Each structure stands twice: as structure tokens, then as C-alpha cells.
Amino acid sequence: MGRKVTWQTPGRDLDDEEIRFKLSPSWFCDITHSWPPQTPMGAYYWNRYCCAGSNYAYEHIIHVPHMTGCDKRNLDGATYRRIFIVNDEEEIKARKEKFKKNMQPFLKDFAGWWKTAADDMDAMYAPLKNFDHDKASLLELREHLYDLQHVGRRLWEYHFVGMVSVFWDGSGLKRNAWSCWE
């Protein structure tokens, strides 16, 4: 039986090569974020929230024409990623129009967007920093954990919206980015 490639969720193991291939013919090892090897808990949060942030930015905010985000799996502490590629020319054309429109706020006033994002992140952090773990009940600790997870997800969303908007602004990755502006 070989080693299991998992999504960090019981029951979602991808041992079967045929299933893996149906999901994507190409899985890339994300060695930059896999050394040292991730712990199971670290991999869970990395794969879950990093993907959520990536997909939020690519699909819901910026609409990069040729991709809609990514998915990740973990094997022995290493993250493997697949990219959701858009191949349909009509969909790419429609996404290019959305992309051009949605990039305008970032191109015109990235500093303003960043100020708003930073203020929102500070507001999310404030109650977390003031939480008294020693006096909290089990129910309050559970609710605090949910709050931490929500803030963690939102931080990944801000991370990717900011990164993707800079990455695809026509200067970051010239060879691919300019094709989006044509």
C-alpha cells in the first residue's frame, strides 16, 4: 500500500493514482513552504487557509483570467499543489474583462486599499489580544478558537488579494501578466 497523500481531513485520502489524476494531471511540490517538513497541525492550517485565501483572491476578487486558485495535499510534511487552470477561451475572455475592471482600485490606490485592510486586520486582532485565557471557560476557549480560525482565514485572504494584485499588475510577472492586459 504506499504512503497516503491527504488533505488533512480524515476520509479524503488520495492513495489511488487514478483518482489523483482525475483531480489533476499535475501536482507540484511546494518545497519553499515544505522545509522543514510541516507538522500535521501546521500542514492543516497552511493547506486549508492558504488555499482559501488564494481561491478568494483569484476567483472572487481579482478574476485572474487563466486560473481560479489552487488546491493542496500533504505527503510526509511536504505540500503538493494543483492549479485550477481555465482553458475555455470564452471564459478567459470574460475573466479578462472582470480582471481589468477589478484591478483598477489596486492600480489607482493600492496604499488606500492597504490602509483599509490593515485597519480591518488591527480591528480583528484587538479582541484576540485582550482575551484572558486563564479565566475563560471551556465554551469561551472554544469560541476563541473559532475566532482565531476566522481571523486566520481573513488574513490569508488579505495576503493573497494584496499579493495577487501586485503580482498581476503588469510589472510583477511580465511574461504572463501582460497577456492579461491585451
Q: Which residue's entry shows cell 470564452?
A: 90
Instruction: Tell me the residue range of the domain where 147 lies.
Output: 1-182
* Set of cell numbers at residue 10: 480524515
- What is the reported pTM? 0.79
pLDDT given for residue 177 in this prediction: 46
Closest CA to 54 of 25, 26, 76, 33: 33
| CA–CA distance, 85 with 95 (Å, rounded to integer) | 12
| CA–CA distance, 152 with 150 (Å, rounded to integer) | 5
Q: Which helix (H) or strand (E) holds 5?
A: none
| CA–CA distance, 139 with 167 (Å, rounded to integer) | 42
pLDDT given for residue 115 in this prediction: 96
Report residues of the chain scoring pLDDT below 50. Answer: 1, 9-13, 172-178
- As for how many domains the chain has, the answer is 1
| CA–CA distance, 138 with 100 (Å, rounded to integer) | 48
